[in-house]
Amino acid sequence: MCGIVGYIGEKNSIPILIEGLKRLEYRGYDSAGIGVISNERKETRVIKSLGKVSLLEDKVEQTSIDASSLGIAHTRWATHGEPSVVNAHPHFNKEETLYLVHNGIIENHTEIKAKLSKDGYEFVSETDTEVLVHLFDSLMKKGNSLLKSVQIGLSEVRGTYGISVISKNEPDKIVVAKKGSPLVIGIGDGEHYVASDVNALIGHTSRCVYLDDGEIVEITKDKFVASTIDDKDIKKEVHEISVELDKISKGDYPHYMLKEIFEQVNSVRDSFRGRILMSEGTAKLGGIERIAERLANSKRLLLSACGTSWHAGLVGEYMLEQFTGIPVEVDYASEFRYRNPIVDRNDSMFFISQSGETADTLAAMKEAKRRDALILGLCNVVGSTIARESEAGVYVHAGPEIGVASTKAFTSQLVVFALISVLIGRKRHLSLIDGQEILRELEALPKKIEKILKLNDQIEAIAEKFVDAKNFLYLGRGYNFPVALEGALKMKEISYIHAEGYPAAEMKHGPIALIDENMPVVFIAPKDSVYDKVITNIEEVKARKGKIIAIASENDNEIDKLVDYSIKIPDTIRMLMPILSVIPLQLLAYHVAVKRGLNVDQPRNLAKSVTVE
C-alpha cells in the first residue's frame, strides 16, 4: 500500500522524488522519506519525516542537500511498527552506504533478523523491512554486486515486496524487484523512473514497463536489464501511458473526492461508450469476446472482491442472476482461500478491483486459477496485475481515481456488470426488446446523474444537520441493499462516524433496538416493486422517533409526509437504480466529513490500493 518512487538520469532527482510521492500519497501517508547519492561527492543522504509528504518537502527545503541524479523515495502506510521517523523509509545499513524502500510484508523477517543479529547486525526500527537492507548489506560485504546481493537475498525471503535499492558502492544504478506488490519502470531519454504506479510517471514519460512477480531489474540512466530472481534473462514489453496530467489534478475542486463524484457524468458514459450494439440488443466487450460462449455456458458465476468493489459485486449478482439465469455467488476475496472453496473448470470467476493490485483479490485469483476456473478481471487501472494475469476481462474506464474513498469506480463497475449481464443474457434467454431497453436506460444515465449533482447544495444543507451524529443506519431492499452497505461505508471511511448498512426488512431483527430521536436512518426508497415494503419500514422507524433521510423518486410526493428529509432522484429501471441512488450518499458522506474538518481524500488509517494482506 506504500508508494515507491525512484529516479536515475541527468536531472536533479530530489524535486522529481517529492513530486512523485505527492502523486502516490493516496497509497499511504503515515510518514515519508527520500534517500539520494550526491553527484559530486557521491555521498549518501537520507531525510525522513513523520506525517504527510508536504512535511517531508518542508524538511528537505530547510536542509542543505547537494543535487543528486540518483535517488529513491517512499510514502508509508504502516504495517510493522507505528508511524515514526525511525520506522519511515528509506532504511539503511550502519555505514549508510545502502538505501532501500519497500512495499509489502516480509513474513519470515523474525528468522532473518535472528540470523543477522548473530552476525552482529543491530536493528533500530520496528519494521520488517529493515531486515532486507541488512541482509543485502551482508551479501555485498562478501563481494557480491548489488544486483547479485538482492537476488541471493530475495531467495531467502517469504512474503511480498516491491523494492528499490541503491548503493554508494555502485552509484550509477537502481535495483528493483517485485513479488505481490506493484512496480513500474518509466523509460525516458537518458533517464529512468521507478514507481508503484504510473501516476508518478505522468508528465515525465509516456513509456513504461510493468514488472511481474519474481522479476528483478538493474537500471542505469541509459538502459535496464531484466531477469528473474533465479537469474534467467527476460525481455519486457514497453507500454504506452495514455493518462494525461490534468486527469490526476484536482482542478478547481477543493478535494479529489468531490471532483470524482462530479466526474461520474463522464465516467459512466466512458464505461459504456463504444460498447453498445443497440440494433442487436447486446454489448460488445472485446476483452471477453473470445470466451463469451464459455462464460454463457458456465455452471456458476463467482465474483470476488474487497470493500467497495465487493458491494459492486453484490449488485452484479442481482443483475447477472436476473438476466442470465446463471447462479451467482459473491465472496470476500480476503476470506475465499481460507476455506476449501468448491470451484472447478465449469465455473467462471470475476475478480473486481479498482487498482487491479488488491493483495487479497490477487491471492484469491491464484487459488481459483489453481482449481481451473475461468479467470476474469474487472478493474480500472490499465496494466495492473489483475489485468495482466487474468485469462480475459473488462476495463471499467473510470479514469484515474485519487480519492481514497472510491466513488466513480463503483458506478463504472456497475455499468460494466450491466453490460456483461446483457451480453451473456442475449446468448441465453434475454430478448432483443429487453436487451435494447437496458441499453437505452444505460445511455440515459449521464443526463440523470447531471440532475442529481444539481442537488449538491440541498444535500450539503442536510449534512449540516448531522455533523455531530454518532451513528448512522442505512437501509435498502433488493438492488438497493448493496447501496445501503456502500453508503454506510462511505460515511465510516471519511467522517469516522459509525454507520451500518442493512436490508430494510432485517432492521426488525436487531438494529431497531438502536433507533431513537438521535439516530439518523437513511432509506434508499425509489418507487419500485418493493416500495410499499420500504414504506412500512419507514413507518416503523418514524414510530420510534428516528430521524429519516430518504433517497426517493422525483415524482414521489407522498414520502415527504413520512420522512424528515428527502432527496429526489430520477427514475430508471431497477437494475440501474444503484448507479443513481448511490451518488447522493457519496455527497452526504463528503459534506458531513468536510464540515467535521476532516481530510476526505486521505482518511486516517486507510490507503487507496491495499497491496498487503
In the predicted model, is pLDDT for residue 610 greater than 80? no
Verify that 239 and 255 share a domain, yes or no: no
In the predicted model, is pLDDT for residue 575 greater than 70? yes
Predicted confidence at residue 405, as pLDDT, reads 94
**Is residue 605 included in any domain, yes or no?**
no
Verify that 163 and 262 share a domain, yes or no: no
CA–CA separation, 313 and 319 (whole Å): 10
Q: Which helix (H) or strand (E) holds 492?
A: helix 481-495
In the predicted model, is pLDDT for residue 334 greater than 80? yes
- The CATH number given to whatever domain includes residue 201 is 3.60.20.10
32-41, 425-434, 601-610: least confident range: 601-610
Mean pLDDT of 459-469: 97
CA–CA separation, 552 and 557 (whole Å): 9
CA–CA separation, 220 and 388 (whole Å): 26
Mean pLDDT of 267-290: 97
Q: Are strands 374-379 and 392-395 parallel, antiparallel or unpaired?
A: parallel
For the record, the C-alpha cell of 298 comes out as 458456465
Predicted confidence at residue 453, as pLDDT, reads 98
**Is residue 78 included in any domain, yes or no?**
yes
Whether residue 90 is preceded by a cis peptide bond, meaning omega within 30 degrees of 0, is yes
**Is residue 173 included in any domain, yes or no?**
yes
In the predicted model, is pLDDT for residue 613 greater than 70? no
Mean pLDDT of 404-411: 96
- Whether the Cβ atoms of residue 262 and residue 423 lie closer than 8 Å to each other: no
In the predicted model, is pLDDT for residue 539 greater than 70? yes
pLDDT in tens, 163-194: 999 999 999 999 999 998 899 999 999 999 99
Taking the CA of residue 436 as centre, how many other CA atoms within 13 Å lie in the half-sphere pointing to its CB?
6
CA–CA separation, 482 and 204 (whole Å): 40
CA–CA separation, 100 and 79 (whole Å): 17
Predicted confidence at residue 337, as pLDDT, reads 85
In the predicted model, is pLDDT for residue 576 greater than 90? yes
Instruction: Give 611's pLDDT tier (boundaries 50, 70, 90).
Output: low
Integer distance in angstroms from the first to the last C-alpha of the chain?
10
Please tell me the total count of domains within the chain.
3
Instruction: Give 39's pLDDT tier (boundaries 50, 70, 90).
Output: confident
Question: What is the residue range of 45's domain?
Answer: 3-247
Verify that 504 and 407 share a domain, yes or no: no
In the predicted model, is pLDDT for residue 538 greater than 80? yes
pLDDT in tens, 475-503: 999 999 999 999 999 999 999 999 999 99
In the predicted model, is pLDDT for residue 267 greater than 90? yes
- Rounded mean pLDDT of the chain? 94
Known catalytic membership, residue 608? yes
Which of 428, 450, 472 terminates a domain? The answer is 450
Q: What's the distance, CA 493 to chain centroid?
A: 14
**Is residue 512 included in any domain, yes or no?**
yes
**Is residue 607 included in any domain, yes or no?**
no
Query: Percentage of the chain with pLDDT > 70?
Result: 99
Which of 214, 247, 280 terminates a domain? The answer is 247
- The CATH number given to whatever domain includes residue 296 is 3.40.50.10490
> Per the residue annotation, which of 48, 259, 492, 608 is the catalytic one?
608
Dump strand ranges (E) for 504-575: 520-525, 547-553, 565-569
Verify that 263 and 210 share a domain, yes or no: no
* CA-based nearest residue to 471, from 534, 524, 523, 514: 514
Verify that 243 and 263 share a domain, yes or no: no
Verify that 432 and 488 share a domain, yes or no: no
Verify that 115 and 34 share a domain, yes or no: yes
Residue recorded with cell 457524468: 265
Which of 228, 247, 266 terminates a domain? The answer is 247
Predicted confidence at residue 247, as pLDDT, reads 78
Predicted confidence at residue 508, as pLDDT, reads 85
**Is residue 612 included in any domain, yes or no?**
no
Predicted confidence at residue 398, as pLDDT, reads 95
Predicted confidence at residue 522, as pLDDT, reads 97
Verify that 479 and 561 share a domain, yes or no: yes
In the predicted model, is pLDDT for residue 338 greater than 70? yes
Verify that 301 and 239 share a domain, yes or no: no
CA–CA separation, 296 and 567 (whole Å): 39
117-126, 333-342, 601-610: least confident range: 601-610
CA–CA separation, 452 and 587 (whole Å): 10
**Is residue 292 included in any domain, yes or no?**
yes
Verify that 418 and 474 share a domain, yes or no: no
> Per the residue annotation, which of 2, 208, 306, 379 is the catalytic one?
2
In the predicted model, is pLDDT for residue 136 greater than 70? yes
Verify that 241 and 282 share a domain, yes or no: no
For the record, the C-alpha cell of 526 comes out as 425509489
Predicted confidence at residue 382, as pLDDT, reads 87
Secondary structure of residue 195 in the 3-state scheme: strand
**Is residue 613 included in any domain, yes or no?**
no
Mean pLDDT of 459-466: 98
CA–CA separation, 524 and 574 (whole Å): 12
Predicted confidence at residue 466, as pLDDT, reads 97
Verify that 196 and 287 share a domain, yes or no: no
Predicted confidence at residue 480, as pLDDT, reads 96
Predicted confidence at residue 250, as pLDDT, reads 87
